[in-house]
Homo-oligomer: A and B are copies of this chain.
Amino acid sequence: MELWYTEEHSPNTRFSIKVKKQLFSEQSPFQRVDVFEAEEFGRFLTLDGLMMVTEKDEFIYHDMIVHVPMATNPDIKNVLVIGAGDGGTVRELTRYETIEKIDMVEIDEMVVDVSRKYLQKTACSLDDKRVTLFFEDGLKFVRDKVECYDLIIVDSTDPVGPGEGLFTKEFYGNCYKALSQNGIMVNQHECPYYEAFAHSMKRAHKRISELFPIVKVYQAHIPTYPSGHWLFGFASKTLDPVKDFKKEQWESLNLTTRYYNTELHTGCFAIPNYVKTLLAEARNE
């Protein structure tokens, strides 16, 4: 018998992973939650049939969503994480002893429960004493927050289903308000290669560009995400991720990372011309 997990990356493209067995499958109030075990990728979590994390390559996503802002401002003390129910983002954040508080807002408690049970490699730091979990809608959570976070990480699903509100102008505006004077917002920013994702990417970039004075996009190679070419958005009130990069300070922390390094910190902001063109189109729309 062969069991294959298949995901449509575009209406004309499919990516399939050979599965040993399905470990979990349930419909939460928000989405379908599945966990699989695979020979090559270890365990992996999907939401509504879209890949969230595999044990084989989750380090790439979590390195890039956490260490890029942290190396731009190693003085970050208060962090808000929105989404990220698998715990991988919090795991990387808790490695910084200087961080004092991490609020994590995940709309779907089932994702956290399932990750604690099946994905210990990512969920292992959710009980860190600096972490407070809120099972709420991130969109509502940030509404009344004012200048209280140094970093907001938007580790959301795609802008369909429960993640939709996390791509709105209202949400980005509230994030701006919730950020402290040198605040940084980083968000998962879709892929530039397939049309539907590129559309979401452009919409997010346009809205963020209208609110933040410093707005950049950086990239990583994430093989299990559509096209393998994944983008992150970096938006901030004062700090430029390349000009204000605290290379030596970050290196002195001696954190071991499997993907991120200080050359890549600068390198990942060098994006291809076709992506630059799409982003410029978005800003001028």
Interface string of A5-24 (1 = CB under 8 A from B): 00000111111111000000
- Across the interface, do B13 and A14 meet the contact criterion of CB distance under 8 Å? no
Binds B, one of A118-126, A132-140, A141-149, A257-265: A257-265
Tell me which residues across on chain B come within 8 A of A41, comparing CB atoms.
12
The answer to whether A182 has its CB under 8 Å from any CB of chain B is: no
How far, in Å, is A62 (CB) from chain B's closest CB?
Answer: 13
A17 to B10, CA, bound (A): 9
Within 8 A of B (CB), among A1-49: 4, 10-18, 38-41
A28 to B274, CA, bound (A): 36
Tell which of A15, A57, A264, A273 has the most Cβ of chain B within 10 Å. A273
How far, in Å, is A234 (CB) from chain B's closest CB?
Answer: 15
A261 touches which of B10, B228, B229, B272 (Cβ 8 Å): B272
Known: A264-B272, A267-B267. 12 other contacts (CB 8 A): A14-B15, A15-B16, A219-B221, A223-B227, A228-B228, A257-B273, A258-B273, A260-B272, A261-B270, A261-B276, A267-B268, A268-B270
Closest CB pairs A-B (n = 4): A228-B228, A267-B270, A221-B229, A223-B227
